[in-house]
């Protein structure tokens, strides 16, 4: 198993400002992911973050709005820029702990999430 922590756990922000969410994993992983989840809804993948390369964004998400850093194999940040009330959501990071080269198995561990409210 793995332990993933996120900071902050929650925040209330004013529109037009930016918030950076940190995600720390207790062991080295190649792939980390960022999701958004509205309360009571499903998870939507924002981007995949690999160490040493640019993040890969899903349709509907752009780097200018959600810049991501991945400086090493245990840490990543997601910034929500120029926030609006529509950005109010829970933001989750996850890490892939599947054994490399083992295609028959896949498992991701998730952080506890950051609950963001934009006023």
Partner 1 sequence: GQSLEQPSEVTAVEGAIVQINCTYQTSGFYGLSWYQQHDGGAPTFLSYNALDGLEETGRFSSFLSRSDSYGYLLLQELQMKDSASYFCAALEGGDKLIFGTGTRLQVFP
Would you tell me which residues interact with partner 1 (CB under 8 A)? 31, 33, 35, 41-45, 48, 92, 94, 96, 103-113
**Least distance (Å) from partner 1 to the CB of residue 104?**
5
**Least distance (Å) from partner 1 to the CB of residue 41?**
7
C-beta of 75 vs 109, nearer to partner 1: 109
**Least distance (Å) from partner 1 to the CB of residue 43?**
4
First vs last C-alpha separation in the chain: 37
C-beta of 30 vs 82, nearer to partner 1: 30
Q: Give the position of tokens 């922000």.
A: 13
C-beta of 23 vs 80, nearer to partner 1: 23
Comparing C-alpha atoms, which of 102, 103, 118, 100 is closest to residue 14? Answer: 118
**Least distance (Å) from partner 1 to the CB of residue 115?**
9
C-beta of 62 vs 107, nearer to partner 1: 107
């Amino acid at each position: 198993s793995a332990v993933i922590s996120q900071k902050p756990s929650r925040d209330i922000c004013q529109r037009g400002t930016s918030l950076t969410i940190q995600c720390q994993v207790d062991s080295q992983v190649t792939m980390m992911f960022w999701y958004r989840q509205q309360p009571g809804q499903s998870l939507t993948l924002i981007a995949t973050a690999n160490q040493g390369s640019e993040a890969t964004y899903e349709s509907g998400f752009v780097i200018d709005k959600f810049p991501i850093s991945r400086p090493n194999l245990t840490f990543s940040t997601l910034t929500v820029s120029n926030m609006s009330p529509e950005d109010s959501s829970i933001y989750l990071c996850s890490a892939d702990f599947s054994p490399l080269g083992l295609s028959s198995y896949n498992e991701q561990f998730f952080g506890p999430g950051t609950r963001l409210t934009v006023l």
